[in-house]
Amino acid sequence: MKYDPQPTLPAPPGTLGVVGWMRKHLFNGPFNSIATVVLAYFIIIFMWPVIDWAILSADWIGTTRNDCTSDGACWVFISQRLNQFLYGFYPEAETWRLDLAFIMMAALIAWLIIPKTPFKGWVAAFTLLIFPFIAFVLLSGGYFGLESVDTHKWGGLSLTLVLAVVGIVAALPFGILLALGRRSHMPIVRSLSVVYIEIWRGVPLITVLFMASVMLPLFFPEDMNFDKLLRALIGITMFQSAYMAEVVRGGLQAISKGQYEAADSLGLGYWQKMNMIILPQALKLMIPGIVNTFIALFKDTSLVLIIGLFDLLAIMQASANDPNWIGFSTEGYVFVALVFWVFCFGMSRYSIHLEKRLHTGHGNRA
Amino acid sequence: MSLDNSQHNSDRPPETNVKFWHDPAKRAVLFQVLLVGAIILFATYIAINTLNNLEQRGITTGFSFLNETAGFGIPLSLIEYSEASTYGRTFIVGLLNTVLVAVLGIIGATILGFILGIARLSDNWIISRLAAIYIETFRNIPLLLQMFFWYFAVLRTLPSPRQSIEFFGSYLNIRGLSMPAPVAESGFSFVVIMFIAGIVATWLLTRWAHKRQDVTGQQFPIFWSGVGLIIGLPLLAFIVAGTPISLDHPELKGFNFRGGMTIIPELVALWLALTIYTAAFIAETVRAGILAVPHGQLEAASALGLPKVRTLRLIIIPQAMRVIIPPLTSQYLNLTKNSSLATAIGYPDLVSVFAGTTLNQTGQAIEVIMMTMAVYLSLSILTSIFMNWYNKRMALIER
């Protein structure tokens, strides 16, 4: 007997295409249908004025507040103050130095995160060891005929980036040492590390900044003068290294015991074992965690305005209080929020992507 | 290097010839002695410098400043406070204000966070998308910015006291929301006693109902009888005692409202920002906790014929909570620490009145900062003690 397969029937009507999707995700059951309709109504009711304010009836072109004639947002305020938002009070003729430093940094980071670029190890070493000095010379000047720019003129987004990047890069070595200390077999080293980590993790950053700004000058001889930015950086680094230590500890714990034992049985010393076997594997696993602490730090840098530094948020706040532009603080907040959001959201997506890529299926997670 | 050493050692008996720097145990002792020595040296250096600097500035160390008169007012205080009070009292006032906003924030963020976390898992596309947009938006914007937005861009645009928005005998203006304050009269304590009695009775009833269910399998409507006891009993007492409560209405006198109670805008802005920001993190925690319950549990529940609500209450929530509570407590701790941003908008919390005003007036930087840090530190130690206790208890119950 000849087997003659019947032709495949089409899917039941209303389960495919747009209609099917809507039935499955928007109108499955009476409760969901009502919720969908009510929410859609509210979205339209609320979103329309927002879109109208931000885009349709907003003012985009002009130089003074008199150019803002419509009811919508006055983006002229942002475009007129953009230089200040980006560079703070940095001398206008010298802003190319900030541009150059940040473009270099962006290029180096891009080199490191794009897969399959050559010489990653060397580029990473350059970024962590040599680039900070180049950036420092570019930013503060005083060498190679560059005009010296005092740190109290730094501000805006560039100051935010300096605080966050220096905070995280300087905290990395301390964090590694503290994490190794916390897992050490030496009782004094271990307890000192635990006490340091738990103290800094237990207090808010703002008290640390207060401490750095009022107590640090008391701790050192009168003639030793820290400027405000350096004090904030010391505070942030001390604070951040405790958080970094916990990230590093997580990475160290993820390395299986066999790796430690294998290194021991090869007769490697402690530092050889760490440098050649454990840390290279652990650091790779830590990158998502480091990115996450970087996001937290990036948001927290806005606190420095409390001790009188002008980061992006502080400089926007100051501009919105300028008599020429009073009444446009909402535009300012929206702009600053957007900048922070783009950075933080981008980094969090990258960290999720990285976690998926590093998760090569050897772990015990499903 | 190490390989060479081990070969050397194998040639000769090890106990005679190992140099002490090749013996890890001795080396560890030496290293730790050096480390402690270095730390002591550094601490002494700092202590000497500090004493010198303090002497030059004419600041006496010690905690005697806590008994001096503060001389500044605080706009919100849960206890009796005036300008004649001491610095010690400003510390207490600030601490209580921190606790106030932290407790309010924790309540708000928990409710909003659980709603959002569950909404994120909804099978309705619009609901889950909206929750996702909320989470990704507010998680990625600095808390301080959100606080400034609520305070400067929203609450500062409210009208002046004379043009207050009036509703139900309350007045909303730039100085806050002035509301009628309930004043307890004689006989009100009776209502309070009945309220406590209701709670105790509900607790006893719940125990009895559980025992009876274990023995006979019969269920008892605990929820509704509990509601009846906790709300009904005090309500009855309230009516019987002849409504022993009067309202103190706010009145406009000069440029401001007197009487009643006022919710200051700083508190509202801080509370809104803390709630909205932390709720985004709590929502992610809740989502992860619910997703951590294995799907087999759901299938088993529906195979037993449990309805949806009961599946949620008896199967999913108890197991999800085990995963949710540890990160949830650390979110609560974060919220409490973040409440210190209050100082930026002038809410009189611990950092603002104590590490801010008191420090500026007295110059006692070290004592003030140490006391402030000690408060936050003890909070976080208490939390971790609770967490350890909770984890142990959960581990025991686990089968």
Looking at the fold, whether B14 and B110 belong to one and the same domain comes out as no
- The pLDDT of B82-105, averaged and rounded, is 89
Count of residues making up chain A:
366
Would you give the DSSP letter of residue B156? Answer: G
pLDDT tens-digit map of B44-75: 998 888 888 888 877 777 788 888 887 787 87
Which ranges of chain B would DSSP assign to H, the alpha helix?
A: 2-11, 14-17, 24-57, 87-120, 125-139, 143-148, 188-216, 222-227, 233-240, 265-291, 295-303, 308-310, 317-338, 350, 359-362, 365-397
pLDDT top residue among B301 and A324? B301
| Predicted confidence (pLDDT) at residue A362 exceeds the cutoff of 70 | no
Q: Which residue of B has its CA nearest to A213?
A: B365
Q: Which residues of A touch B37 (CB under 8 A)?
A: none
| Predicted confidence (pLDDT) at residue A237 exceeds the cutoff of 90 | yes
- The pLDDT of A21-49, averaged and rounded, is 85
Considering only the beta carbons, identify the residue of B56, B145, B344 that sits closest to A340: B145
Which ranges of chain A would DSSP assign to H, the alpha helix?
A: 17-25, 30-51, 76-87, 95-113, 120-125, 131-140, 156-182, 187-202, 205-214, 216-219, 228-254, 257-265, 270-272, 279-300, 312-320, 329-358
Instruction: Give the model's pLDDT for residue B17.
Output: 67
Looking at the fold, whether B351 and B282 belong to one and the same domain comes out as yes
Lowest mean pLDDT among A88-102, A304-318, A340-354, B254-268: B254-268
| Predicted confidence (pLDDT) at residue B252 exceeds the cutoff of 80 | no
Looking at the fold, whether B23 and B154 belong to one and the same domain comes out as no
- The pLDDT of B309-319, averaged and rounded, is 86
Instruction: Give the model's pLDDT for residue B281.
Output: 94
> Which of B3, B141, B274 best tests the A interface by mutation, with the highest count of A CBs <10 A?
B141
Measured distance CA(A9)–CA(B65) in Å, rounded: 88
Chain A from 333 to 362: CB within 8 A of any B CB: 333, 336-337, 340-341, 344-345, 348
| Predicted confidence (pLDDT) at residue A225 exceeds the cutoff of 90 | no
Q: Which residues of A touch B366 (CB under 8 A)?
A: 215, 218
Q: Which residues of A touch B125 (CB under 8 A)?
A: 25-26
| Predicted confidence (pLDDT) at residue B6 exceeds the cutoff of 60 | no
Looking at the fold, whether B135 and B164 belong to one and the same domain comes out as yes
Tell me the β-bridge partners of B165.
B172
Question: Is B295 inside a domain boundary?
Answer: yes
Distances (CA, A) of B365 to A217, A244, A305, B49, B60: 11, 28, 19, 14, 11
SS3 assignment, position B248: strand
Tell me the β-bridge partners of B171.
B166, B178
Measured distance CA(B17)–CA(B9) in Å, rounded: 8
Band of the pLDDT at A73, cuts 50, 70, 90? confident
| Predicted confidence (pLDDT) at residue A106 exceeds the cutoff of 60 | yes
Lowest mean pLDDT among A331-345, B40-54, B181-195: B181-195
Q: Which residue has the tokens 């006490």?
A: A195
* CA nearest to A313, candidates B269, B149, B267, B136: B149
Lowest mean pLDDT among A141-150, A160-169, A337-346: A141-150
Measured distance CA(A87)–CA(A1) in Å, rounded: 84
- The pLDDT of A219-235, averaged and rounded, is 83
Question: Is B76 inside a domain boundary?
Answer: no
Query: CA neighbours within 13 Å on the CB side: how many for A14?
Result: 4
Q: Are A302 and B376 inside 8 Å of each other by CB?
A: no
Looking at the fold, whether B221 and B129 belong to one and the same domain comes out as no
Name the strand (E) or helix (H) holding B251: strand B251-253
Check CB contact of A292 with chain B, cutoff 8 Å.
no
Q: Are B344 and A306 inside 8 Å of each other by CB?
A: yes
Question: Is B67 inside a domain boundary?
Answer: no
| Predicted confidence (pLDDT) at residue A366 exceeds the cutoff of 70 | no
Q: What single string gives the DSSP state of each residue in B305-374?
A: T--HHHIIIIIIHHHHHHHHHHHHHHHHHHHHHHGGGGGGTT---HIIIIIIIIHHHH--HHHHHHHHHH
The tokens of B133 are what?
């947009």
| Predicted confidence (pLDDT) at residue A350 exceeds the cutoff of 60 | yes
| Predicted confidence (pLDDT) at residue B11 exceeds the cutoff of 90 | no
What does pLDDT average to over chain B?
83
Looking at the fold, whether B255 and B140 belong to one and the same domain comes out as yes
Reported ipTM: 0.85
Chain B from 44 to 103: CB within 8 A of any A CB: 46, 49-50, 52-54, 56
pLDDT tens-digit map of B191-227: 888 888 889 988 998 899 888 888 888 888 888 888 8
Question: Is B166 inside a domain boundary?
Answer: yes
Instruction: Give the model's pLDDT for residue B286.
Output: 92
Q: Do A262 and A223 touch, CB atoms closer than 8 A?
A: no
Measured distance CA(B227)–CA(B249) in Å, rounded: 31
pLDDT tens-digit map of A183-212: 888 888 999 999 999 899 889 999 999 888
* CA nearest to A303, candidates B144, B175, B75: B144
Domain, as residue range, for B26: 2-57
Domains assigned to chain A:
19-56 (no CATH), 76-90+149-358 (1.10.3720.10)
pLDDT top residue among B117 and B155? B117
What does pLDDT average to over chain A?
85
| Predicted confidence (pLDDT) at residue B114 exceeds the cutoff of 50 | yes
Instruction: Give the model's pLDDT for residue B9.
Output: 46
| Predicted confidence (pLDDT) at residue B40 exceeds the cutoff of 90 | yes
Looking at the fold, whether B259 and B344 belong to one and the same domain comes out as yes
pLDDT tens-digit map of B328-351: 988 999 999 999 998 888 888 898
CATH number of the domain within which B355 lies: 1.10.3720.10
Query: CA neighbours within 13 Å on the CB side: how many for B291?
Result: 12
Instruction: Give the model's pLDDT for residue B299.
Output: 92
A125-131 long-range CB contacts below 8 Å, 24 or more apart?
A128/A169, A128/A172, A131/A104, A131/A105
Q: Are A39 and B381 inside 8 Å of each other by CB?
A: no
Question: Is B64 inside a domain boundary?
Answer: no
Q: Are A32 and B369 inside 8 Å of each other by CB?
A: no
Going by DSSP bridges, is the β-strand pair B245-248/B170-173 parallel, antiparallel, or unpaired? unpaired
Instruction: Give the model's pLDDT for residue A365.
Output: 41
Looking at the fold, whether B243 and B261 belong to one and the same domain comes out as no
The tokens of B106 are what?
């924790």
Domain boundary among B225, B248, B271: B248
Considering only the beta carbons, identify the residue of A28, A206, A302 that sits closest to B145: A302
* CA nearest to A323, candidates A155, A87, A57, A77: A77
Looking at the fold, whether B289 and B365 belong to one and the same domain comes out as yes
Q: What are phi and psi of A265, to 5 degrees?
A: -70, -20
Measured distance CA(B40)–CA(A192) in Å, rounded: 13
Question: Is B72 inside a domain boundary?
Answer: no
- The pLDDT of B127-148, averaged and rounded, is 92
Considering only the beta carbons, identify the residue of A25, A215, A345 that sits closest to B366: A215
pLDDT tens-digit map of A271-294: 889 888 888 888 888 888 888 889
* CA nearest to B317, candidates B296, B281, B292: B292
Check CB contact of B369 with chain A, cutoff 8 Å.
yes
Measured distance CA(B120)–CA(A217) in Å, rounded: 49
Structural domain tally of chain B? 3
Lowest mean pLDDT among A145-154, A229-238, A356-365: A356-365
Looking at the fold, whether B155 and B277 belong to one and the same domain comes out as yes
Looking at the fold, whether B380 and B270 belong to one and the same domain comes out as yes
Looking at the fold, whether B199 and B138 belong to one and the same domain comes out as no
Percent of chain B at pLDDT above 90?
A: 26
Q: Are A35 and B127 inside 8 Å of each other by CB?
A: yes
Question: Is B62 inside a domain boundary?
Answer: no
Question: Is B65 inside a domain boundary?
Answer: no
| Predicted confidence (pLDDT) at residue B389 exceeds the cutoff of 90 | no
Instruction: Give the model's pLDDT for residue B280.
Output: 94
Measured distance CA(B135)–CA(B132) in Å, rounded: 5
